[in-house]
Amino acid sequence: MRSGGHRARPAWLCAMVALAAGPIATAEPTAPTCRPPCDEPAVFALAVELAAVADATTEALTAAAVALAAAADDQQVKPSVVGGLPLHALPKVFGGHGLPALRSALAATVLGGAPVTERDGFADVVAIDTAAGALCTGIAVGPRTILTAAHCGPARQIRPRTGPPIAVIARAVAPARADAAALTLATPLAVAPRPRARGFDDPSDGRVRVIGFGADDPSGARGAGAARWGELYVDDWRCDGARAATTGCRPGLEVIIPATGVDACRGDSGGPLVDWRDGGWRLLGLTSRGLPGARTPCGHGGIYVHVGPLADWLDSQTEVP
């Protein structure tokens, strides 16, 4: 809490306010840079907040940015980078232009993974074209409902691996500021939704698969657009108080998977994390963001949203007619 008196707003927050208020650019945004130490997970939380209102008017965005700046003052946020954003906090989004590029620049195909084939299944995993011109990944959880990351922002359409694109007509963000959002489709997607975790379960055999349409090199700059999957090995993945203090993960909602040679990358944001249960792949989580201390956007492990705590909310979203 504020101890008294008025403190100058950090320069990076001023830059966010200016970006929200300014005109939409047409050039590709400059990739953010980072000088160690890059240890400010609060930046990501603020970016998710801005993404939640990104489909409002410019005036509303400006007001939201100012409100976030004031909240950050109260919390005494001290970013590691002035006028930029810590590299580790980048959500794993690929591309983007203009004002919504606050998400895109803040904002993973799978690094070290293999191409998804028809035999693998995963027809319910789709590419998402965001309103910002960026790429994310999502998974069908109902005939007309796609689950993805909230920080991807509003979406224009989804692209299944087979068949034409389908327009997105509505978006709902998960409660408790979880990095998850449900997209409503104009027409149903002809796939059967897979089972999903109902509680905060661990993987059944210590292994999970991550699937996405993002980049496949550590820089996050190449290979996006084709679906790939990678296998990750999980031991103690739950977020506790100590990990929350060092990574910004959220206990009871998010999990951590360190670098294992396979990692999500830019464009995989919102892509599913699945485990093998009862003879099939079960939805366990969603790709959110990278771990602190990374010197490249991909390859250093990541933070994932567990879908178990969101079960009731997901039920309400899949009831959309």
Any idea what the CATH number is for the domain that residue 217 is in? 2.40.10.10
- pLDDT at residue 210 tops 80: yes
Q: Residue 320 class from Cβ within 10 Å (0-12 exposed, 13-18 middle, 19+ buried)?
A: middle
Domain count for the chain, please give it.
Answer: 3
The top-scoring range by mean pLDDT among 4-18, 58-72, 201-215 is 201-215
Residue 320 falls inside a structural domain: no
177 three-class SS: coil
Residue 316 falls inside a structural domain: no
Examine the domain organization and report whether 163 and 82 are in the same domain: no
How does pLDDT run across 36-58, given as a tens digit for each residue?
343 445 555 555 555 544 444 33
Tell me if 294 sits within 8 A of 108, measured CB to CB.
Answer: no
Calculate mean pLDDT across residues 24-43: 39
Question: CA-based Rg of the chain, rounded to a whole angstrom?
Answer: 18
Calculate mean pLDDT across residues 220-228: 62
Residue 319 falls inside a structural domain: no
Examine the domain organization and report whether 44 and 102 are in the same domain: yes
Residue 140 falls inside a structural domain: yes
Handedness of CA 259, 240, 103, 320 (dihedral sign): positive
Q: Which two tokens stand for residue 179?
A: 């990095």
- pLDDT at residue 137 tops 60: yes
Residue ending a domain, among 131, 161, 192, is 192
Main-chain phi, psi angles of 80, to 5 degrees: -80, -25
Examine the domain organization and report whether 217 and 299 are in the same domain: yes
Which domain covers residue 294, as residue numbers? Answer: 207-310
Examine the domain organization and report whether 212 and 299 are in the same domain: yes
Residue ending a domain, among 77, 106, 135, is 106
Tell me if 185 sits within 8 A of 168, measured CB to CB.
Answer: yes
How does pLDDT run across 70-112, given as a tens digit for each residue?
444 344 333 333 233 333 444 555 443 333 333 333 333 344 4
Tell me if 266 sits within 8 A of 92, measured CB to CB.
Answer: yes
User: Which carries the bigger pLDDT value, residue 314 or residue 12?
Assistant: 314
**280-290, strands of its sheet edge to edge:** 114-115, 228-233, 207-212, 272-277, 280-290, 301-306, 254-258
Residue 202 falls inside a structural domain: no
pLDDT at 56: 42
Examine the domain organization and report whether 168 and 237 are in the same domain: no
Residue 293 falls inside a structural domain: yes
User: Which carries the bigger pLDDT value, residue 225 or residue 234?
Assistant: 234
Cis peptide before 37 (omega within 30 of 0): yes
Examine the domain organization and report whether 90 and 16 are in the same domain: yes
Examine the domain organization and report whether 257 and 296 are in the same domain: yes
How does pLDDT run across 246-256, given as a tens digit for each residue?
999 999 999 99
DSSP class of residue 141 equals E
Tell me if 69 sits within 8 A of 9, measured CB to CB.
Answer: yes
Residue ending a domain, among 192, 222, 252, is 192
Calculate mean pLDDT across residues 266-277: 93
pLDDT at 67: 45
Q: Which of 310, 79, 76, 9 is nearest to 178 (CA)?
A: 310
- Integer Cα distance of 121 and 37 in angstroms: 41
Examine the domain organization and report whether 303 and 211 are in the same domain: yes
Cis peptide before 165 (omega within 30 of 0): no
Residue 317 falls inside a structural domain: no
Residue 113 falls inside a structural domain: no
Which stretch of DSSP H or E encloses residue 315? helix 311-318
